[in-house]
Structure 1
Amino acid sequence: MRRQQAEARGRQGERIAAWWLRLKGWRILDRRVKTGVGEIDLVAKKGMTVAFVEVKTRATIEEAEAFLEPRTMQRVIAAAEALAPSYAAEGHDVRIDAVLCAPGRRPRHLENIWQGW
């Protein structure tokens, strides 16, 4: 797939993921936040929880989940650690979530995925 197509698919997935999270009561604080160690696709807040969200968009939900690989997760973890002080106050729970997107399927929200890494 050409880079431009992949970029467009990724941005579409991020829009869908943000929409899905808002339907579940989350407020989107930021999108595509870059740090020196990685990028966070979405930063979301619900109650006292701040989630740094990795969005994966592929042909199937299963394929999207397979792309949550250790190298990607290490980058997301490092970026979340760098950004947490900017988005979470004392007493907030901070976690890393993922939203998996595929054409014609409901997004799948995986909560607190960092624990497996």
Structure 2
Amino acid sequence: MKPGRPARPWRVGLGARVRRDGRAAEWLAALFLMSRGYRILAFRLKAGGGEIDLLARRGRVLAVVEVKRRATLDAALLALKPAQQARLLAAGRAVARSRPGLAGLELRLDVVALAPGRWPRHLRGLHARD
């Protein structure tokens, strides 16, 4: 938007709806992970130049979880690009360094993909591709 130009009402409403839908997707992903034995440590955690949707722990694994909601599961899985993966891993390392209770845990990048009418899909252990 150009400076001095008022926001268009439909865009303001769209942004609010997108944020609301994103938060709902994060809660759904959190419930899904908790049903599989994960403990959710944080929601929307800003660290190391990135924002982590969910920080979860299960045993000795500290999972940086990115939640992607799209029209199809395939589209959701393809939405996480290598640059974002690298930012998320850097943010996860920053969090692990700053919290002594997380020292020594295996850091992992996971994705929970959501699509209407489908069960969530959890991909574990993604690595940034350069």
Rg comparison, structure with higher value: 2
Q: Match for 1:80 among 59, 78, 92?
A: 92
- Mapping of residues 1-117 of structure 1, within 5 Å: 2-85=14-97, 86=99, 88-90=102-104, 92-114=105-127, 116=129
Query: Aligned residues, how many?
Result: 116
Unmatched segments (≥5 aa) in structure 1: none
Cα distance, 1:89 vs structure 2: 2.2
1:99 deviation in Å?
Answer: 0.5
Counterpart Cα distance in 1 of 2:78 and 2:17: 20
TM-score (norm 1): 0.89
- If asked which structure has higher relative contact order (CA below 8 Å, sep 6+), I would say 1
Question: Where does structure 2 lack aligned partners over 5 or more consecutive residues?
Answer: 1-10
Amino acid at match of 2:102: A
Question: Are the structure 2 counterparts of residues 48 and 73 from structure 1 closer, same or farther at C-alpha, using a change threshold of 3 Å?
Answer: same
Using the size of structure 2 for normalisation, the TM-score is 0.81
RMSD: 1.7
